[in-house]
Amino acid sequence: MNLIGPRIGVAPGDYVQAAAWLDSGERRLGLALLGGALIAFPFVVSEYLVFMACVAGMAVVSIVGLNILTGYTGLLSIGHAAFNGIGAYACAIAAAKFGAPFWIAIPAGGLAAAAAGVLVGLPSLRIKGLYLAIATLAAQYMFLFVAQHWESVTGGDRGFQVTPASVAGVRLDSDFRLYWLIMPVTVLMCAAAANLFRTRVGRAFIAVRERDYSAEVLGIDLLRTKLAAFAIASFYAGIAGALMAYFFKVVNPEQYTFTASIFQLTAIIVGGLGSVLGSVLGALFMVAVPELLKVAVSAFAGADQAKSAIMLASARELVFGLLIVGFLLFEPFGLAEIVRRARAALTLWPFRT
Amino acid sequence: MNLFIEYSLVGLAAGGMYALMALGFVLVFKGTGVFNFAQGELMMLGAYVFLTVNQLAGLHWSIALAATAVFALAAGAFVERAILRALAGQPLLSVVMATVGLGLVLKGAVGLIWGQEQRTLPGLLPRAPVFIGEFLIPGNAFWSFVISMAVVGACLAWFRFTRSGVAMRAAASSQVNAYAVGINVPRISALTWGLAAAVGGFAGVLLAAINNLTPHLGDLALSVLAVLIVGGLDSLAGVIVGGLVIGWLQSMTGAYLGGQYREVMPFVVVLAVLLVRPHGLFGRKEIERI
């Protein structure tokens, strides 16, 4: 049985087979099991875990987007949370001011973020590397400034209330109901990302990452490719932000700070740069870590709520920092590489690589 | 008109502090080609070390300052040895994120050790306002300007005239050739990091004496990005120009546009400069080989 292993003994006879996604019965079975688990999940676990699953799903969408930009295309962005914020505000405004239903408001959030992404990406042809990272950082702070001070549109620091979406008269106001919105979107976005790198555009991203001038010599239009990367990554971020708006029922600048951007960068490093699986693993890991820390810190600090909240903030920074540095030094390809090694070992067992 | 001159003077004085804060970034970038996002946290750490030696151990501030410098030198050299050297030759993303991670580690560790509450450092600088002609400048702004300029000047002179300074410039311009003439490049890199951390620690003490000290003191360093971009990431003299320009601009925006624009102005400048002159006003343009 080779449920999760790499493709072994697959000999495609024609191009259709070679391009197939589900190239073996085991693979189909594995995917069916995963799908079944995702559907059964909210029925069997506690409310708290459904809540965490929703949070993780939204994180996955956003982090997959960041990985497309930073991991696959090699354009370092330290302002990804700003695009979450733009998506969230656009979605909330579309829903509240124009009465758009959620199936228009959420894509509207994604498109607004994509447009902003193209704007921020425009200088990327001239500036790159560190300077581009600094430019995205500046964009992050300018977004926060606008969100805080353009009160007539964004509601300032108080934020923006979001009315729950409704489908055929059913209000999506509980975590359980929202799960059925967030989970399918997450799955869809991940599948799209995985497929993207089987296309010409996706391959061009990777070529640009490896050496942008060489890619240009090969006939890749640099500006267009970089802008496409920015647009797609920001679209993902915007969709995630729009989901957050519906999920947390409020949009305010505090959710989309520099810290949130760093959180997402940490996730792609922990998960694995340039890997969709890595983004998913990194997102799940990074959502789980603060929760585990909460348990550890409250055991350590005892009953004092205020003290443990303060300790938690510091402990989280410390652990995130250690994770970044530790993974960069000891496992630069992240959790995805660990999984790949485990798979290889499992497939070849009892032989060794 | 008088108001304009007064605000200008206050802004320029504040610019001196910016120059000092930016100096640590430039030293590391010039010396080792790494942009150190943890520089702000090294500043914050220096201020806490100073606080501990000065208040808890009850020693004179000059001893505390010396202890801070020694500690920062060691910490900077350690960081270079433990993290940056292992990442030599890795892509930019890894190196940048390693410094971001280091910053988080320092911030979290300081928060756990010293706690989140605000501390006040003893006022090191005379508070009495200084008059230039008929214009009044707050004492600590004026004296921190003077001290900053002295430190930046000392660094400039050190790079220009001392053996280790010249070695540092050599290692920065070409590692291979520096090795060839017998310079111990790893040691020079460690020294660069130590020096930057010491300058940062000093800036942190000054900054914490003016503001208050919390583990978030390092966040202020991000507003220095504008100074770096205007001055060029690898230009020591650019730090002074950039610091003065940004200090003046910030004072002007505060005076004429309103206080809330002060915080965002540096980032607007960053984007504007990057769009017009991608490598900063005084930075050297990198030439890339395919």
Task: Residue window 324-343, chain A: list those with CB within 8 Å of chain B.
Answer: 324-325, 328-329, 332
Closest residue, chain A, to B34 (C-alpha) = A130
Percentages of chain B per state (helix, strand, coil), in multiples of 5? 75, 5, 25
Contacts of A332 in chain B (CB under 8 A): 90, 94
Chain B nearest-CA residue for A72: B93
The answer to whether B92 contacts A321, with C-beta atoms less than 8 Å apart, is: no
CA distances from B107 to A107, A303, B43, B94, B127 (A): 38, 25, 11, 20, 30
Domain ranges of chain B: 20-219
Q: What pLDDT shows up at residue B72? A: 93
Query: pLDDT (tens digit, 9 = 90+) per residue, B84-126?
Result: 988 888 888 889 899 999 999 999 999 999 888 888 877 677 7
Query: B36 vs chain A: nearest CA distance in angstroms?
Result: 11
Closest-CA distance of chain A to residue B8, Å: 25
Read off the DSSP letter of residue B174.
Answer: -
Q: What is the maximum alpha-carbon separation in chain A?
A: 66
Q: Which residue of A has its CA nearest to B265?
A: A142
Shortest CB distance from A138 goes to which of B105, B267, B288?
Answer: B267
Cβ distance B43 to B204 under 8 Å?
Answer: yes
Yes or no, beta carbons of A317 and B97 under 8 Å apart:
no
Looking at CA atoms only, how far is residue A57 from chain B in angstroms?
Answer: 24
Q: Give the minimum alpha-carbon distance from A178 to chain B in angstroms, rounded to a whole number.
A: 33
In the predicted structure, residue A23 carries a pLDDT above the cut 50: yes
Answer whether CATH 1.10.3470 is correct for domain A47-348: yes
- Which residue, among A329, A319, A330, has the nearest Cα to B83 in the 3D structure? A329
pLDDT at A14 over 60: yes
Q: Locate tokens 């708006």: which residue?
A: A245
Contact A275, A197 (CB under 8 A): no
Q: Do the beta carbons of residue A79 and residue B222 sit within 8 Å? A: no
Query: Using 50, 70 and 90 to split pLDDT, how confident is the model at A2?
Result: very low
> Are A271 and A281 a contacting pair, CB within 8 Å?
yes
- Virtual CA dihedral for A179, A182, A187, A192, nearest 10 degrees? 170
Whether residue A240 is predicted with pLDDT greater than 80 in this model: the reply is yes
Q: Using a CB-CB distance cutoff of 8 angstroms, which residues of chain A are in contact with residue B272? A: none
* Percent of chain A surpassing pLDDT 90: 52
Flag if B101 and A324 touch (Cβ within 8 Å): yes
Please tell me the distance from the alpha carbon of residue A173 to that of residue A167, in angstroms, as a whole number: 11
Quick check: B108 and A138 CB within 8 A? no
pLDDT at B288: 62
Per the DSSP assignment, residues forming a β-bridge with B137 are: B130
User: Which residues in chain B touch residue A206, judged by CB atoms under 8 angstroms apart?
Assistant: none
Asked if B267 and A126 come within 8 Å (Cβ–Cβ), the reply is no
Which residue of chain A comes nearest to B225, CA vs CA?
A134
Q: Which residues in chain A have Cβ-Cβ distances shorter than 8 Å to B93?
A: 70, 74, 76, 273
The closest CB to that of A213, out of B108, B116, B290, belongs to B290
User: Angle between the A130-149 and A102-121 helix axes, to the nearest 10 degrees?
Assistant: 130
B93 to chain A: closest CA residue: A76
To the nearest whole Å, the CA of A56 is away from the closest chain B CA by 22
Cα dihedral sign, B8-B14-B20-B24: negative
Identify the pLDDT of residue A1: 38
Tell me how long chain A is.
Answer: 353
Q: What is the mean pLDDT of chain A?
A: 87
Contact B96 A76 (CB under 8 A): yes
CB within 8 Å of A183: residues ≥ 6 apart? A38, A53, A57
For chain B, residues with pLDDT lower than 70 are: 123, 280, 282-290
Q: Determine the Cα–Cα distance for residues A4 and A84; give it in Å rounded to an integer.
A: 32
Query: Cβ(A106)–Cβ(A239) under 8 Å?
Result: yes
Q: How far is A48 from chain B (nearest CA, A)?
A: 27
At A109 the pLDDT is 95
Residue A43's contacts (CB-CB under 8 Å, 6 or more residues apart) are: none
- Strands B135-137 and A160-161 turn out to be unpaired
CB B257 within 8 A of CB B176: no
Ranking A85-89, A92-96, B279-283 by mean pLDDT, the lowest is B279-283
Q: How far is A31 from A23, CA to CA, in rounded Å? A: 12
3-class DSSP state of B91: coil
Which residues in B117-156 are b (16+ Cβ under 10 Å) and which e? eebebeebbeeeebeeeeeebbebbbbbbebbbebbeebb
Instruction: Determine the distance in angstroms separating the CA of A132 from the nearest CA of chain B, rounded to an integer.
Output: 9
For residue A321, the chain B residues in CB contact (below 8 A) are: 101-108
**pLDDT tens sequence across A153-196:** 887 788 888 878 777 777 878 888 889 999 999 999 999 998 99
Taking the C-alpha atoms of residue A150 and residue A73, their distance in angstroms, rounded to an integer, is: 33
Residues of A in contact with B215 (CB under 8 A): 314
Positive or negative, the Cα torsion across A142, A144, A149, A150?
positive
Q: CB contact, 8 Å: B89 with chain A? A: no
Min Cα–Cα distance to chain B from A326, Å: 9
Partners of A214 on chain B (C-beta within 8 Å) are: 290
